[in-house]
Amino acid sequence: MGESDNNARTLSIPESTVLRLPVYQRILVNFERRGLNTISSADLGRLSGENAASVRRDLSRLGSFGTRGTGYNVATLIRQIDRVFATDQPHGVVLVGAGNLGRALVQSNNFFGHGTQLVAVFDADPALIGGELGGCTVLADEHLEAEVRTASVHLAVLTVPVSVAQGVAERLVTAGVRYILNFAPTTLHVGAKVTVRYVDLSIELQALSFYERDDAARHSGTSIGTAGITNAARSPKHRTHRSSAQPR
């Protein structure tokens, strides 16, 4: 299969599969570190919270077919997932917001990496400007447009207050950013050509509170309508999708 065929296959992968592949990859890397060479779809499904049929369908989109009775080669699967996320050529990312949340993300072992590389950090707080974070010097946000254009960066992470999130997003888009991961609990309006993903931890906690209340009511014999929401404990797939849902 040629390079163009590989690219076409990668572009045809649906979003639901793209969100599950990093989970599979973490499991596979752990297997490799333990010296295990193969893994079955049943084991990969059990460890990722998916069923074996979904795992086989996801992996078939990479062109990987396991051997009955043997399973999948761990090293081969890791390489195939690496190709999907182009981890051999990391994409530059800028972080806007060097406060507590931004700092926590950078200091996490698993946030940046896996196809991305932090190349610049910005903040408006004079107390933070000039400090070091993730190997980058925290720059004043007034330099944002120039730095983004110079580095030709197309990805950004926002960990700024709600009051400034929209304005910062507009500035990023003007500078050439086309993909934004937004941690501010607000919906951004940046045009159809820009992809925005949302991580709203307050919504996740609110949803878990609902599930707790719903389960308690069910156990007491009272029925509460769930408005079509499937309990996350019974549907890992649905839980994964909600983690990047837009804020209301």
Per DSSP, 185 falls in state S
Mean pLDDT across 2-15: 57
Q: Amino acid identity, residue 110? A: N
69-82 b/e (C-beta count within 10 Å ≥ 16 → b): eebbbbeebbebbe
Question: Lowest-confidence range among 51-60, 90-99, 191-200, 208-217?
Answer: 208-217
Mean pLDDT across 238-245: 40
Contact (Cβ atoms closer than 8 angstroms) between residue 173 and residue 157: no
Per-residue model confidence (pLDDT) at position 121: 97
Residue 95 backbone phi and psi in degrees, to 5:
-110, 125
Per-residue model confidence (pLDDT) at position 126: 96
Looking at the structure, give the CATH architecture of the domain made up of residues 91-199.
3-Layer(aba) Sandwich (3.40)
Per-residue model confidence (pLDDT) at position 63: 83
CATH assignment of 3-85, among 1.20.910.10, 3.40.1160.10, 1.10.10.10, 3.40.190.10: 1.10.10.10
Query: Model-level pTM greater than 0.95?
Result: no
- Residues 156 and 135: their CA atoms lie apart, in Å, by 17
Mean pLDDT across 74-85: 88
- Residues 21 and 10: their CA atoms lie apart, in Å, by 12
- Our measurement of the distance from residue 14's CA atom to the centroid of its chain's CA atoms, rounded to an integer in Å, reads 14
Mean pLDDT of the chain: 83
- For 107, 118, 159, 198, the CA distances from 148, given in Å and listed in that order, are 22, 12, 17, 21
Contact (Cβ atoms closer than 8 angstroms) between residue 72 and residue 55: no
Please tell me which residue, 232 or 97, carries the higher pLDDT value.
97
